[in-house]
Chain A
Amino acid sequence: KQEVTQIPAALSVPEGENLVLNCSFTDSAIYNLQWFRQDPGKGLTSLLLIQSSQREQTSGRLNASLDKSSGRSTLYIAASQPGDSATYLCAVEGYGGATNKLIFGTGTLLAVQP
């Protein structure tokens, strides 16, 4: 059974710092890995989607990497801003009967201090 873990559970950094969020998964047979952002009282917003054949994806100040063999992904946020404060979740999608089924980690709560 696929399990997704995120470390740390919470993180507080001063504005301007570069930071890394970690995600690990137990079954490397994944179709893709996705990073989402969740603001308080809101739904999830997709940030980056990495296909299983890819090693990384970039969007603005965000860069996500994927190492399927080791079951790990990282989300790198450059030059953090107070507006980046949110909960960040990673999710993996499997193959076959697991297609379309996202298994989520428990998230990292990020606070960027001005």
Chain B
Amino acid sequence: DAGVIQSPRHEVTEMGQEVTLRCKPISGHNSLFWYRQTMMRGLELLIYFNNNVPIDDSGMPEDRFSAKMPNASFSTLKIQPSEPRDSAVYFCASSTFGMPQHFGDGTRLSIL
């Protein structure tokens, strides 16, 4: 079991640049979640998908954020344009109904 795989592990970029974070969920899991973790706000759910369909994106902070899940084995979270306040650790998690979520190791994003 390879677990949830996120890439890159670290990303440093300048303000205004486009950032794309990637996630490969565990095979067979039908739910995928994107979270953001900061010291100030803790762990927050941004968006989640069921069977590749976005169900709830109420946690997405602004229109600069978008997420896609083109198939059951891949999802992206994009920030365009990026701002320093977007600096955080972004986690992807996957699960099947009624079972605990499995988290990836996260992407540590720094916007200069």
Contact = CB atoms under 8 A, between A and B. Distances in A.
Nearest to A98: B56
Given A101-B45, A102-B45, A107-B42, A46 B100 contact: yes
Given A34-B100, A100-B31, A101-B56, A43 B106 contact: yes
A15 to B, nearest CB: 27
A37 to B, nearest CB: 11
Interface in B12-47: 31, 33, 42-45
Contacts of B105: 41-43
A100 B48 contact: yes
Contact of A104 (B31, B42, B50, B55): B42
A97 B45 CA distance: 14
Nearest to B49: A100
Interface residues of A, number: 17
Nearest to A107: B42
Contacts of A28: none
A70 to B, nearest CB: 23
Given A49-B100, A104-B42, A105-B42, A43 B56 contact: no
B102 interface: yes
A41 B106 CA distance: 8
Nearest to A102: B45
A43 B91 contact: yes
Contact of A43 (B4, B45, B48, B55): B4
Interface in B64-104: 91, 93, 100-104
Interface of A: 34, 41-46, 49, 89, 97, 100-102, 104-107
Given A43-B106, A45-B103, 4 more contacts: A41-B105, A43-B4, A102-B101, A104-B42
